[in-house]
């Protein structure tokens, strides 16, 4: 039987897309990689995925899993002759367990849909970023996605206690444990999380939930430098008992680009400041949400007092606190516009790096001099999850031929400062050269051995993560 006919017999003819019907899968979100697969197939069950993988394994047909298709590193690039396996139909929230604070979900569940479903129980899944309306749980797990709340809740890996995956030969690996402690051998769950579809297809997960905040306070802070910003972060953490959920750095040039790209988003402050930080604290304690006689919330009053002290100490130059959900959404819109704003120009060098917190400012200062030496005409836009040391450092060189030298120099400086060239976007295709240059050779060798053990025919998302 022809492989396309065999696929149609598994999923039904309407769910094997070819030719013009594959238009939605034709390119990655960034627009850098063009896909030329044999077909895009949309299984409707875990059993469908199992049968598809058995077929692919028998015919040695490469398979590229795809979730929300919003990756930034080319992890879902599908070469000619491969199958794109979309999880869009595996979108059932199987169960929400409010007392255990768990959600059991299909891999194709959209993050925003999960947010809405658990909110009905007074809970939340504390992972959020700009693509939450399209990204899917399996893709988040496959890349170990980060986001703006990593400071308090960790990456996706920290929020997952169970996983279900279909291996390259079609076997279903059922690790859907609801246990917070299970010390029975190798942690295969954590092995699959972050593997970017190179070891199997994630079809389900058991995810941790937390209580929805009873009160929240969000502000934009204007500062002179990042050293003061880090001091303010530490002070807020100490004074509020670790309730800081987000601490996002946006320099003046980034906000100028946002306001140019989105004219409806007006500047927050009357004047530009070198450093602007989005700070958000939240509390689940009812006492923090019980209005005082004057109508103010205790958490917001505490936040205001702490910021006033920082202004008095000269650490903060100005601060604006959101007074309602609309103002909070407008503040967050500036930060969540980062991908669209930073990817609007080309050529670009898209760096997603991690550094120790006290090295973020020295890195940015040093790179100013390094870039001036390499390319005096280069432009830079950067934003950062300042609380966890993750910088999105986008460089626009004056000549495309300078992209690789700039990338390598960034990597040099990051390595010298004890950082990593990859923080939350994954490796995909884009960072294969970085893996080859920077990853410990023994680590690469062990990763290759794991890949060969689970995928001896090399059909799972070939060419990604591991340099050849």
Predicted confidence band of residue 1 (pLDDT cuts 50, 70, 90): low
Identify whether residues 323 and 360 lie together within a single domain: no
d(CA 107, CA 86): 10
Q: Which residues contact 76 (CB under 8 A, 6 or more apart)?
A: 28, 35, 64, 65, 66, 67, 69, 84, 197, 428
d(CA 357, CA 202): 33
Task: Please check whether residue 62 lies inside any domain of the structure.
Answer: no
- What's the structural domain count of the chain? 3
Contact between 37 and 80 (Cβ < 8 Å): yes
Identify whether residues 349 and 328 lie together within a single domain: no
d(CA 351, CA 413): 12
CB atoms within 10 A of CB 408: 15
CATH code assigned at 98: 3.30.465.10
Task: Please check whether residue 145 lies inside any domain of the structure.
Answer: yes
Identify whether residues 422 and 328 lie together within a single domain: no
Note the pLDDT of residue 28: 80
CATH code assigned at 330: 3.30.70.2190
Identify whether residues 324 and 359 lie together within a single domain: no
Q: What's the average model confidence in pLDDT over 323-328?
A: 93
Identify whether residues 256 and 185 lie together within a single domain: no
Predicted confidence band of residue 26 (pLDDT cuts 50, 70, 90): confident
Tens of pLDDT, residue by residue over 86-145, are: 999 999 999 999 999 999 999 999 999 999 999 999 999 999 888 888 999 999 999 999
Domain boundary, last residue among 211, 240, 257: 211
Tens of pLDDT, residue by residue over 381-401, are: 999 999 999 999 999 999 999
Task: Please check whether residue 146 lies inside any domain of the structure.
Answer: yes
Q: Which of 19-28, 187-196, 225-234, 354-363 has the lowest mean pLDDT?
A: 19-28
Domain membership of residue 416 as a residue range: 345-427
Domain boundary, last residue among 307, 338, 369: 338
Identify whether residues 241 and 147 lie together within a single domain: no
Identify whether residues 141 and 187 lie together within a single domain: yes
Identify whether residues 201 and 227 lie together within a single domain: no
Task: Please check whether residue 15 lies inside any domain of the structure.
Answer: no
What is the C-alpha R_g of the chain? 23
Note the pLDDT of residue 129: 85
Identify whether residues 316 and 267 lie together within a single domain: yes
- The answer on pLDDT for 30 being more than 80 is no
Contact between 184 and 224 (Cβ < 8 Å): no
How distant is the alpha carbon of residue 341 from its chain centre? 17
Determine what percent of the chain is predicted with pLDDT higher than 70.
100
DSSP 8-class letter at 154: -
How distant is the alpha carbon of residue 149 from its chain centre? 11
Task: Please check whether residue 232 lies inside any domain of the structure.
Answer: yes
- Record the pTM: 0.93
Identify whether residues 234 and 321 lie together within a single domain: yes
Domain boundary, last residue among 187, 211, 235: 211
Task: Please check whether residue 4 lies inside any domain of the structure.
Answer: no
Identify whether residues 147 and 200 lie together within a single domain: yes
| Mean of pLDDT over the chain | 95
Q: Which of 119, 125, 188, 113 lies closest to 156 in space, CA to CA?
A: 125
Contact between 42 and 66 (Cβ < 8 Å): no
Query: How far, CA to CA in Å, does 437 sit from each of 402, 432, 441, 465?
Result: 18, 9, 9, 13
- The answer on pLDDT for 29 being more than 80 is no
Q: What's the average model confidence in pLDDT over 222-242?
A: 95
Note the pLDDT of residue 343: 85
CATH code assigned at 352: 3.30.70.2740
- The answer on pLDDT for 360 being more than 80 is yes
Identify whether residues 331 and 351 lie together within a single domain: no
Task: Please check whether residue 171 lies inside any domain of the structure.
Answer: yes
DSSP 8-class letter at 213: P
Task: Please check whether residue 25 lies inside any domain of the structure.
Answer: no
Q: Which residues contact 179 (CB under 8 A, 6 or more apart)?
A: 161, 162
């Amino acid at each position: 039987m022809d492989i396309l006919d065999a696929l149609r017999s598994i999923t039904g003819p309407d769910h094997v897309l070819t030719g013009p019907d594959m238009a939605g899968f034709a390119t990655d979100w960034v627009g850098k990689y063009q896909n030329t697969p044999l077909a895009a197939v949309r299984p409707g069950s875990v059993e469908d995925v199992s049968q598809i993988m058995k077929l692919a394994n028998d015919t040695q047909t490469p398979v590229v899993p795809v979730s929300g298709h919003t990756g930034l590193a080319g992890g879902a690039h599908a070469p000619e002759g491969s199958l794109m396996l979309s999880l869009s139909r595996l979108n059932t929230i199987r169960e929400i367990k409010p007392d255990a604070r768990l959600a059991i979900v299909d891999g194709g569940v959209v993050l925003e849909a999960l947010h809405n479903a658990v909110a009905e129980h007074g809970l939340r899944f504390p992972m959020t970023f700009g693509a939450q309306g399209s990204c899917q749980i399996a893709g988040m797990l496959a890349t170990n996605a980060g986001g703006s709340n990593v400071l308090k809740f960790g990456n996706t890996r920290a929020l997952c206690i169970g996983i279900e995956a279909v291996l390259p030969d079609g076997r279903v690996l059922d690790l859907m444990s609801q246990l917070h402690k299970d010390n029975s051998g190798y942690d295969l769950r954590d092995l699959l999380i972050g593997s970017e579809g190179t070891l199997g297809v994630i079809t389900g997960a058991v995810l941790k939930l937390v209580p929805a905040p009873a009160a929240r306070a969000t502000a934009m802070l204007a500062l002179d430098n990042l050293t003061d910003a880090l001091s303010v972060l530490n002070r807020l953490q100490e004074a509020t008992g670790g309730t800081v959920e987000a601490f996002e750095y946006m320099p003046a040039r980034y906000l100028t680009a946002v306001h140019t790209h989105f004219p409806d988003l007006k500047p927050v402050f009357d004047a530009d400041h070198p450093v602007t930080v989005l700070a958000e604290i939240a509390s689940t304690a009812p006492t923090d949400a019980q209005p005082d006689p004057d109508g103010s919330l205790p958490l917001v009053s505490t936040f205001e007092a702490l910021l006033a002290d920082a202004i008095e100490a000269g650490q903060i130059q100005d601060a604006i606190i959101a007074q309602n959900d609309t103002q909070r959404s407008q503040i967050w819109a500036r930060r969540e516009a980062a991908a669209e704003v930073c990817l609007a120009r080309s050529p670009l060098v898209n760096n997603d790096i991690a550094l120790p917190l006290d090295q973020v400012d020295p890195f940015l200062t040093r790179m100013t001099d390094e870039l001036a030496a390499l390319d005096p005409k280069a432009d830079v836009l950067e934003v950062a999850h300042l609380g966890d040391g993750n910088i999105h450092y986008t460089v626009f060189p004056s000549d495309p031929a300078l992209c690789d030298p700039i990338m390598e120099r960034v990597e040099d400086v990051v390595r010298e400062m004890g950082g990593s060239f990859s923080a939350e976007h994954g490796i995909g295709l884009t960072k294969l050269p970085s893996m080859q240059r920077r990853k410990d050779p023994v680590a690469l060798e062990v990763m290759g051995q794991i890949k060969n053990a689970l995928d001896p025919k090399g059909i799972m998302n070939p060419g990604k993560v591991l340099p050849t």
